[in-house]
Amino acid sequence: MRTHLLRFVFDSAWRFQAAGNELFVGAGWLILVWLIVTGIAFAVMCRRTGNITESALSVGFWLIIPAGFLSLLVLQPDIAIVRDGVPIFGYGFMMFIGFVSASWLAAKRIQTIGQPPDLIWDMLMWVLIPGLIGARVYYLVRHGSPAFSNSTGVAKLVAAIALWDGGIVFYGSVLGGIVGIVAFCKLRKISVIPVLDVLAPSLVVGEGFGRLGCFLYGCCYGGACDLPWAVRFPPDSLTFQKMVEKGLLDPQATATGWLHPTQIYSSLAAFTMAAVLSWFFRRRPFDGAVLCLFAIIYPVSRYGIESLRDDIDPFKVGLNDAEIFSLGLIAAGLAGMYYFSRHRTLTKAAVVKTAG
């Protein structure tokens, strides 16, 4: 597991070297990959539009960034980005991959309810920003952050939004994201429930990648384990730091003890649920059925995995917050399934009939 997947450096264009627990990659590789991706995008746009000039203008903007990196490589100015490089955080990278993958799948799926794929891309910021706010606020309120609590002014603001250091809660992101989706649908005068059915499978796709980010960062760690797939976390991981803070680990240790890889369990469960919900979406009997099925099956896996985690203290009732939310979500899912089954409507794309 790596807190930093890699670091792009500017001391050598084609450097590719592992040092300690970090991989150093020359910025030349980044520029090359960026140009290849831009070239592919240009070819695809030309094929779709048949207009070379328009396509060139559309992708030309993205050449500004590799041009900037190239100037840093050549000029070598004495600035922080050149001295320290550009780190790619494992947690943030997986969150990005998850968000893009989930959005792309939702854009494909939404056509089945008669809406254009562009609707999902228009909705992105309405989901992303409230979702991140909800996830981060919940984390800070429930678990706290020394960097946030001990800082003031601008530093406190930076600590509040420091998502690259981890510290978000899935249920908080769901609550915040739903608020954004409802507001967007009301603004566009679109029925909310069919859209939530579309988004439900993508939601757990995003969580699957997000949990891989948790594994790289070391949050959401499990308890002691002697199974063949048990894992250990290095000193630069959050797991190691938390165990030292709790007095469970010697600060001079080379790694933690063997632990349950609960992040991997959660990721596999999420991808499995995404497959089940995608299959069920094509066979849903009424609007709201997919959303309610998600509300019923997600807590079941979450509740089981929570029992193996060792990073969260329970409330006074003996259950942690995720377990309490899980029970509430199951109840809401069952109630919703009953309600929507009594008011059966099923939104589908209109079938266009041709003459002859």
CA angle centred on 328, ends 275 and 282, rounded to 5°: 25
Domain residue ranges in the chain: 4-84, 86-223+260-342
Residue 142 reports pLDDT greater than 50: yes
pLDDT at 191: 92
Task: Look up the pTM and report it.
Answer: 0.78
**DSSP helix, strand, coil percent of the chain (3-state; round to 5):** 65, 5, 30
Give residue 67's identity as a one-letter amino acid code.
Answer: A
Tokens of 92: 């943030």
| Higher-confidence position of 317 and 99 | 99
Residue 352 reports pLDDT greater than 60: no
Rg (CA), the chain: 23
Mean pLDDT of 30-43: 89
For residue 194, which of 324, 284, 74, 62 has the smallest C-alpha distance?
284
CB burial readout 227-253, b (16+ within 10 A) else e: eeeebebbbebbbbebbbeeeebeeee
- Side-chain-side CA neighbours of 25 within 13 Å: the count stands at 16
CB burial readout 178-188, b (16+ within 10 A) else e: bbbbeebbeee
Q: What are the pLDDT digits (tens) for 205-226?
A: 999 998 998 898 888 889 899 9
**Residue written as tokens 């002691």?**
224
Residue 317 reports pLDDT greater than 60: no
Q: What does 234-293 look like in DSSP terms, one character per residue?
A: -TTSHHHHHHHHTTSS-TT-SS---B--HHHHHHHHHHHHHHHHHHHHTT-SSTTHHHHH
